Amino acid sequence: MKFYITGSTRGLGKCLARHFDCTTVDRPIDLNTDIDSVVDMFDEGDCVILNAHARQLEYVNRLKDKCRLVVMGSLAAVHPDSSMPEYSQDKAQLEQEVLKQSVHSKYPMLYLRLTSSSYKNHKMIVRSIKFWLDHPDINFIGYNINE
C-alpha cells in the first residue's frame, strides 16, 4: 500500500509524511483547481491522508471508493470558532459526511477530530493512524479538549 499526503510542508503534515514515507501532494499542484489530476495520481487501495484544508469534502467524495482515507478534521466542527465561521462550517459538514460515507465506502475511512493540543502531539496522531490501519472498522477518533 502506498501512502500520499496533502499539506506536508510543515507541522503535523510534515511529520506524517516522514513517518509513513508518503508521496507528497503540495505546490505547485493546486488542490483547489487540479482536482482531476490529483485524483488520478492515486491507485486503487492506496492510503491518502487529506491533511490540507483544501476541498477535503470533494476529495472524500471522489476517493471514497478508490482509496483508504485519513481525513483531518477539527473540534471546530462541533465547537464553532466564531473568528473562523467558514472554516468551522466546512469542518462540520466534512465530519458529518465522512461519518455517513464511511459506513458504506469500499475502503476504510478514518476521521480525526483534532484539537489545538492534539494537533501538536504528532506521535499520538501517528500511533492513532497505525492503530486504525490494524483496526479499519474504526471510522472516528476524537481527542481531548483540555490539554
Partner 1 sequence: MSEKKIVITGHTSGIGKAIFDKFTEVSCHQIIGMSRSNGYDIEKDFDKVVEEVAGAEIFINNAYRDQQQLKLFNALKDKVDSMVVMGSVSRHYPELIPTDYVQDKQQLHEACRLESIRPNGIPVLHLDLGFLEGTTVEDTDPTAFISDYNTDLNDIVDTIIFWASHPSIRQVEFTWKLTEHVTQEFERINPNVDLSRVK
**In the complex, minimum distance from the CB of residue 131 to partner 1, in angstroms, rounded to a whole number:** 5
CB nearer partner 1, residue 54 or residue 126: 126
**In the complex, minimum distance from the CB of residue 55 to partner 1, in angstroms, rounded to a whole number:** 24
**In the complex, minimum distance from the CB of residue 94 to partner 1, in angstroms, rounded to a whole number:** 15
Q: For 122-131, which contacts have Cβ atoms below 8 Å and span 24 or more sequence positions?
A: 122/12, 122/15, 122/16, 125/12, 125/15, 125/16, 126/15, 126/16, 126/19, 126/20, 129/16, 129/20, 129/49, 129/70
CB nearer partner 1, residue 2 or residue 122: 122
CB nearer partner 1, residue 85 or residue 131: 131
**In the complex, minimum distance from the CB of residue 30 to partner 1, in angstroms, rounded to a whole number:** 32
Q: Which residues bind partner 1 (CB under 8 A)?
A: 78, 99-100, 102-104, 108, 113, 117-118, 121, 124, 127-128, 131, 134-135, 137-147
- Residues 47 and 109: their CA atoms lie apart, in Å, by 9
CB nearer partner 1, residue 52 or residue 109: 109
Is the C-alpha dihedral spanning 56, 61, 66, 70 positive or negative? positive
